[in-house]
A and B are shown apart, each in its own frame.
Chain A
Amino acid sequence: MSASAGNGATVAQRPMPFRADSGLRLKVEQASYAYAATDRSAPKFTLGPATFEAQQRELVAILGPNASGKSTLLKLLAGVLKPLSGRIEVDGKEVGELDLRVRAQRIALVQQESELLFPLRVWEYVLQGRYPYGRRLRFESEEDCLLAGNALAQVGADGLRDRWMDRLSGGEKQRVILARALAQQPALLLLDEPTQHLDIGGKVELLRRLRRLADENRYTVIVVTHELNLAAEFSDRVVLLHKGKSLRTGTPAEVYERDLLEEVFEAPLEVEMRTSGRPRVILRGSH
């Protein structure tokens, strides 16, 4: 990986205390949702009421096996889906009531990139993150360029700015997509399985980077992931979902209980508590 991985390593080595007093950013109250094939048919999938809060500078991991409702919950937080019941507030404002542009100034959602129809350079892609800050037909200002450049630097992708998007590796692309989200200057940064196509080095590097962004930029970062140990290592809070139900919310140490994880992930697991106060999950019988 790049030299920036080394920078990230120094940040990750210092102890990371749990923070809970730096200002409420996200408040989810009994938010639920149901998917149905048609308006009249019975729901195919239901996400039961979920309740949790996230502060500024917190990194929250939404955990759960496949089809547990993780991405649905993230879409509710992003305002893409409207909750069937309950409320979701960002900085005291209900997400569903925000104007599209105002919402994009407060919430950035990082998903797997869709196929680009025409070739685009990295800097053009990142500048798109400045779209919510102007009129409909807009030309980028010097400030926009500066912020896009800063966003690229923050993710260690400064050297990629003149490359074509379709020529980037998976890890490089992931960083550039993250840079576009940072160019939005959001308060809430949502990521849907950002580690999916990365190798272990790339996964650790990305989580370190997110941790640092949350710390330095006062972002609240919400990450949907399958990675139990990375979530335990880097998150302040975990929301554990199973079959559309929010089973438990709390610090990794509060949520990571052997019986609970074994039931959810249907695998023989062991939970070790490390001296840092963060748990580690291992497959039973694997050592």
Chain B
Amino acid sequence: MRPLTPRRITAICGLLLVVLFGVAVIALRMGAYPISLQDIVMTLFREAIGRRDDIPLEFWQVVFGLRLPRIALGIMVGAALATAGAGFQALLRNPLAEPYVLGVSSGAALGAMLSLMVAPHIVGVIQAGAFVGAAATTATVYFLGRRGGQLHSATLLLAGIISASFLSAAIMFLGTTLSGRDQRGMAFWLMGDLASPPSFHLGWLFLVLLITIGSIYTTSSDLNLILTGEQEARHLGVNVNRVKLVVYIAASLLTGLAVSVGGAIGYVGLLVPHAMRMLFGTDYRLLIPTSAIGGAIIIVVADTLARTVVAPTELPVGAMTALAGAPVFIYLMRRRVR
């Protein structure tokens, strides 16, 4: 009997943070303008000690003007989507639940587009619209996925697929009001685009994500019990309705924020929590932080590949995650059916 301890969580998360740092440094190095690892380290070091004047201008522009904000955005989007996926899997008691598969990402995208059309000049309106869209889609899929008062796994997934298809059609319909160039931009954004940072400081996004992921983390002991059955969790003293409300709001907010700044990137919420379960076990007290860091790693890697594999052409990051995620989804579905 070796129960989970805070020390073990810290050690594993520390290890993953080292991997994330390494991946981020490699991502900083790769791209159309090559910079050596030594130059990257020197640039970062000089900036850290306040000697910006010693950094060559082109290095500073590439590292701090282009690549670092994109990597930072990728880290936040990946953490948000992976945590939301882990949250949805517990909330809906379905291992295949994920923002993209459930149509929640499409709901967030539609919400973001509508809010942008109604009030384009208000700061944060896209994020608010995306959150409302994500929350409304989650609620709809939840109620459509019930049969005889119980959540039904296959019905829930079908409800998600139908919702995603309906919302995508609505997005396409709205897209017809845009110019040809904007339509192409929209299509790219819908598959995931980290090239355009949001208009507000990324620090705000980081703060909101930290609080939201933290709020899901406070329910992780409860989620462990809910995963063994809602009734059983109630008998063990879990306030199931309160926990579900917290996870519902937090997972919808994470999806809304991620989609509003990075587009509808699919399968991260499926791939990452399952990979972390295979590596470190199913305990949500460890799964939430490792999924957040793992999601960040996956997106940084996927985005680096997206902008380098067919350079100078850039692929949407969602195309890379779908290439890896769709086979995993099929594998998990077939294993579950058996």
Contacts and interface: CB of A to CB of B under 8 A. Distances in A.
A132 B237 contact: yes
B234 A80 contact: yes
Interface in A97-120: 100-105, 107-109, 111, 113-120
Contacts of A119: 282
Contacts, number: 86
Interface residues of B, number: 32
A250 interface: no
B221 A104 contact: no
B203 interface: no
Interface residues of B, dominant DSSP: loop
B3 A108 contact: no
B236 A128 contact: yes
B224 A148 contact: no
A103 B235 CA distance: 8
A136 interface: yes
A144 interface: yes
A125 B233 CA distance: 12
B231 interface: yes
Interface in B215-231: 217-222, 224-225, 227-229, 231
A200 interface: no
Most chain B beta-carbon contacts within 10 A, residue among A80, A100, A109, A117: A117
A104 B235 contact: yes
B62 to A, nearest CB: 42
Most chain A beta-carbon contacts within 10 A, residue among B4, B219, B221, B227: B221
Given A136-B218, A145-B1, A109 B229 contact: no
A135 to B, nearest CB: 8
B56 interface: no
A6 to B, nearest CB: 26
Contacts of B229: 113-115
Interface of B: 1, 3-6, 89, 93-95, 217-222, 224-225, 227-229, 231-232, 234-239, 277, 282-283, 285
